[in-house]
């Protein structure tokens, strides 16, 4: 039986934009949390920090995760991952059989499954079959993106890429993200067209547009309908940002789930 969490953070006014709901025609449910959602974390973590390894008090984060379930009316607790900036993809059901899997993406075809990606500047990507038969979520920092995490995720889905919808969640914007030669070369070495996602700033440094790089890779893999983007986690106070806040940055979650008609009333 789920606990009902109460506290000062729960009583505080929740602003209208405390949740981001993807604007896409996918027949699934999805939402992105923000720092301003209902929660019990204290400054500098705002209220709704969902990252257990962010320096926040673990008991607060666990309570926040329970609050998230209640606030969004999730059919089951989210399937959290141990994200390591890699390309491993886990195929999951609604109920965990063991600890959080070591993976940077997940796929599910089972109703009631809630997939979750934690970020604080990296790019979360949500994917759904047009007919709602399966979903996926991927953590795409520059390392995972360059290594092929999106391609690996699409490869684990049964739906042809042309029948998949993609939504790019909040990540650091190009004006806030200066990178060096190693990151630049990781993308342009094998794809000269990726140069469009970079703008030179000074010798050996560029502004990097993660969302543009992700869209390019998704489209190259056959995903024609790519939406979302346009965020900048470093400049937008709604979101946690490691580049802005360093070790005191929390994590927000990008969630996608296959509803169960009898239980999903959110």
Q: Indicate whether 95 belongs to any domain.
A: yes
CA distance 182 to 104: 21
What is the average pLDDT across 84-98? Answer: 93
**pLDDT (average), residues 21-35:** 96
Inside any domain, residue 199: no
Residues 164-194: tens digit of each pLDDT: 999 999 999 999 999 999 999 999 999 999 9
Residue 209 in any domain: the answer is no
Q: Please, are residues 161 and 153 in contact by the beta-carbon 8 Å criterion? A: no
In a domain, 1, yes or no: no
pTM: 0.93
Report yes or no on 200 lying in a domain.
no
Residue 190: inside a domain, yes or no? no
Residue among 31, 50, 30 at smallest CA distance from 39: 50
Rg (Cα) of the chain, in Å, rounded?
A: 18
- What's the rounded Cα separation, in Å, for the pair 169 and 240? 13
The SS3 of residue 151 is helix
- Specify the DSSP class assigned to residue 73: T
Is residue 11 scored above 70 in pLDDT? Answer: no
* Phi (first) and psi of residue 246, to 5 degrees: 60, -140
Model confidence band, residue 17 (pLDDT cutoffs 50, 70, 90): confident
Q: What is d(CA 18, CA 137) in angstroms, rounded to the nearest whole number?
A: 21
- Within-domain flag for 25: yes
Most confident of 2-6, 42-46, 258-262: 42-46
pLDDT (tens digit per residue) in 57-81: 999 999 999 999 999 999 999 999 9
CATH of the domain at 241: 3.60.140.10
Instruction: Identify whether the C-beta of residue 236 lies closer than 8 Å to the C-beta of residue 17.
Output: no
Helix H or strand E encompassing 216: helix 210-220
DSSP lists the bridge partners of residue 128 as: 135, 165
Kind and range of the H or E element at 217? helix 210-220
According to the model, what pLDDT value does residue 76 have? Answer: 96
Residue 215: per-residue pLDDT: 98
Total structural domains within the chain: 1
- Per-residue pLDDT band for 97 (boundaries 50, 70, 90) equals confident
Q: What band does 15 get if pLDDT is binned at 50, 70 and 90?
A: confident
CA-CA distance, 84 to 9, in Å (whole number)? 30
1 pLDDT band, cuts 50/70/90, is: very low
Residue numbers of the domain that contains 102: 18-170+226-257
Q: How many helices (H) and strands (E) does the chain have?
A: 7, 13
3-state secondary structure of 126: strand
Contact 236, 170 (CB under 8 A): yes
Cβ pair 35, 238 in contact under 8 A: yes
The token pair that represents 253 in the structure block: 């979650």
Q: Is the pLDDT of residue 262 over 50?
A: yes
For residue 162, is it within any domain? Answer: yes
Give residue for tokens 């991927």.
Answer: 138
């Amino acid at each position: 039986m789920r606990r009902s969490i109460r506290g000062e953070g729960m009583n505080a006014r929740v602003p209208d934009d405390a949740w981001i709901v993807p604007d896409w025609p996918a027949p699934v449910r999805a939402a992105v949390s923000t720092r301003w959602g209902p929660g019990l974390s204290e400054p500098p973590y705002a209220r709704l920090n969902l990252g257990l390894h962010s320096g926040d008090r673990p008991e607060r984060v666990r309570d926040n995760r329970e609050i998230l379930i209640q606030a969004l009316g999730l059919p089951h607790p989210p399937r959290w991952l141990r994200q390591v900036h890699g390309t491993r993809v886990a195929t999951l059901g609604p109920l965990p059989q063991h600890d959080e899997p070591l993976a940077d993406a997940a796929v599910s075809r089972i109703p009631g499954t809630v997939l979750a990606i934690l970020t604080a500047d990296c790019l979360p990507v949500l994917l759904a079959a047009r007919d709602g038969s399966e979903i996926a979520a991927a953590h795409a920092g520059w390392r995972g993106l360059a290594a092929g995490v999106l391609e690996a995720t699409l490869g684990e889905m049964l739906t042809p890429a042309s029948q998949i919808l993609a939504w790019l969640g909040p990540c650091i914007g190009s004006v806030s993200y200066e990178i060096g030669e190693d990151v630049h070369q990781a993308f342009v070495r094998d794809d000269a067209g990726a140069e469009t996602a970079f703008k030179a700033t000074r010798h050996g440094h560029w502004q990097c547009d993660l969302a543009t790089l992700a869209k390019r890779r998704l489209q190259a893999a056959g995903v024609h309908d790519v939406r979302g983007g346009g965020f900048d986690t470093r400049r937008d106070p709604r979101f946690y940002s490691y580049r802005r806040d360093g070790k005191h940055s929390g994590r927000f979650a990008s969630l996608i789930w296959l509803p169960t008609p009898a239980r999903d009333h959110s």
